[in-house]
Amino acid sequence: MILPGDGIGPEIVEQAVAVLEAADKKFNLGLSFEQGLIGGASIDAHGEPLTDAQLAAAGECDAVLLGAVGGPKWDTLERDIRPERGLLKIRSKLGLYANLRPAILYPQLADASSLKPEVVAGLDILIVRELTGGIYFGEPRGIRMLENGEKQGFNTYVYSESEIERIARTAFEAAQKRGGKLCSVDKANVLEVTVLWREVLDRLAPEYPDVELSHMYVDNAAMQLVRAPKQFDVMVTGNMFGDILSDAAAMLTGSIGMLPSASLNESGFGLYEPCHGSAPDIAGQGIANPLATILSAAMMLRYSLDMGEAADAIEQAVSKVLDEGLRTADIHTEGCKKVSTAEMGAAVVAAF
């Protein structure tokens, strides 16, 4: 299922679909695509950010490729019917609890980082974020009137052992396939829910003797990401901390327009989307970077469709166009060739 969404979503997804079609042709994958609505696009058509019919249709596909949601047009709507709700609904209803967000510095783009080259050269972190629990979905929640007449807002940060265990196993397994290091991020010196988080991680650790588990408080993790990010291999944390840390980590690379993400459920079904947002300020101009979405499509082939060879080919094609010096505006530096969204997509297809 293809859900282009809002802002630059349609433009970048169009290029990713073109790349998938090229991969289909070359590797005979037998792909077929359905298009659907999410976010503001769905609000405009149906008055809500994700209809139940659309949700059901997405769940029947083998995977979902999403562009991005949101924009100023829908910012004044009530929280419950805003574009982001569509994203939260599909994550939650399809059980997409494991959000995998790589933060990789492409050597060709080393200059784009705001950090010194020696601090980030070769950066390759994977952040595993719990995506269907924690304070994002905890009840009770709301705004109530106190007896003294003032309002009070409240949310609940909650995790059960099984929720923690599930995401922890995903992270341990990811660490096994990578550098063998897992750093779990919590605030166990203050929050009981993360005391339990730490307990569960420690209980599971002996089952993964080839993984070196460490724990870090979230404030320190934010500092260490700025100070010396290469100390990390895989990081695992809850929904809220993961939201913050994965964005910070992505920005270390200086090229968030390059970073894909996967959100998986227990059976390997997944939703794939770029880490960046819908960038309404540049929507429709044909200058957005489609590479994060193209790389998300590659992740989709690898994780949900078991088409690793085609995924590799897409990633190599992306690397090749970067080697050739092609750059969209967001990653452009002197001496490189500035290209449009469509030109970048076409170049990746041609590099196959």
Ligand X SMILES: CC(C)[C@H](C(=O)O)[C@@H](O)C(=O)O
Tell me the two tokens of residue 325.
């010096």
22 is in an annotated binding site: no
Contact 3, 66 (CB under 8 A): yes
Does 62 participate in catalysis according to the annotation?
no
Q: CB 87 → ligand X: shortest distance, Å? A: 6
268: three-class secondary structure by DSSP: coil
Measured from the CB atom, is 13 or 216 closer to its own copies?
A: 216
Q: Among 24, 62, 124, 247, which one carries the catalytic annotation?
A: 247
210 binds, among ligand X, its own copies, none (CB under 5 to 8 A by kind): none
Does 247 participate in catalysis according to the annotation?
yes
196 backbone dihedrals φ, ψ, rounded to 5°: -65, -40
Q: Considering the rule CB under 6 A, would residue 84 count as an interface residue with ligand X?
A: yes
Residue reference for tokens 């289909």: 24
When binding is defined by CB under 6 A, the residue of 56, 121, 190, 350 that contacts ligand X is 190
78 is in an annotated binding site: yes
Closest CA to 54 of 20, 19, 26, 89: 89
Q: Could you give the CA distance from residue 27 to residue 239 in angstroms, rounded to a whole number?
A: 37
Contact 292, 253 (CB under 8 A): no
When binding is defined by CB under 6 A, the residue of 34, 161, 199, 219 that contacts ligand X is 219
Measured from the CB atom, is 11 or 243 closer to ligand X?
A: 243
Does 330 participate in catalysis according to the annotation?
no
84 is in an annotated binding site: yes
Q: Considering the rule CB under 6 A, would residue 148 count as an interface residue with ligand X?
A: no
348 backbone dihedrals φ, ψ, rounded to 5°: -65, -45
Q: Could you give the CA distance from residue 19 to residue 342 in angstroms, rounded to a whole number?
A: 11
Q: Considering the rule CB under 6 A, would residue 38 count as an interface residue with ligand X?
A: no
Does 52 participate in catalysis according to the annotation?
no
Q: Considering the rule CB under 6 A, would residue 186 count as an interface residue with ligand X?
A: no
Q: Could you give the CA distance from residue 348 to residue 260 in angstroms, rounded to a whole number?
A: 16
Contact 68, 6 (CB under 8 A): yes
Q: Among 97, 136, 208, 303, which one carries the catalytic annotation?
A: 136
Q: Could you give the CA distance from residue 167 to residue 304 in angstroms, rounded to a whole number?
A: 17
Does 124 participate in catalysis according to the annotation?
no
Please name the residues in contact with 325: beta carbons below 8 A apart, sequence gap of 6 or more.
Answer: 335, 336, 337
Q: Considering the rule CB under 6 A, would residue 243 count as an interface residue with ligand X?
A: yes
4 is in an annotated binding site: no
177 binds, among ligand X, its own copies, none (CB under 5 to 8 A by kind): none
Measured from the CB atom, is 56 or 190 closer to ligand X?
A: 190
Contacts of ligand X in 255-314 (CB under 6 A): none
- Which residues in this chain contact its own copies in the complex, by CB under 8 A? 79, 82, 84, 88, 114-116, 119, 135-136, 138, 141-143, 146, 150-162, 187-197, 218-220, 222-223, 225-228, 240-241, 243-248, 250-252, 254, 256
Q: Could you give the CA distance from residue 119 to residue 113 in angstroms, rounded to a whole number?
A: 10
Q: Considering the rule CB under 6 A, would residue 75 count as an interface residue with ligand X?
A: no
User: Would you tell me how many other CB atoms lie within 10 Å of the CB of residue 338?
Assistant: 14
Q: Could you give the CA distance from residue 340 to residue 289 in angstroms, rounded to a whole number?
A: 8
Q: Considering the rule CB under 6 A, would residue 52 count as an interface residue with ligand X?
A: no
Task: Give the active site residues.
Answer: 136, 187, 219, 243, 247
Task: Extract the annotated binding site for NAD(+).
Answer: 71-84, 277-289
| Interacting residues toward ligand X by CB under 6 A | 84, 87-88, 189-190, 219, 243
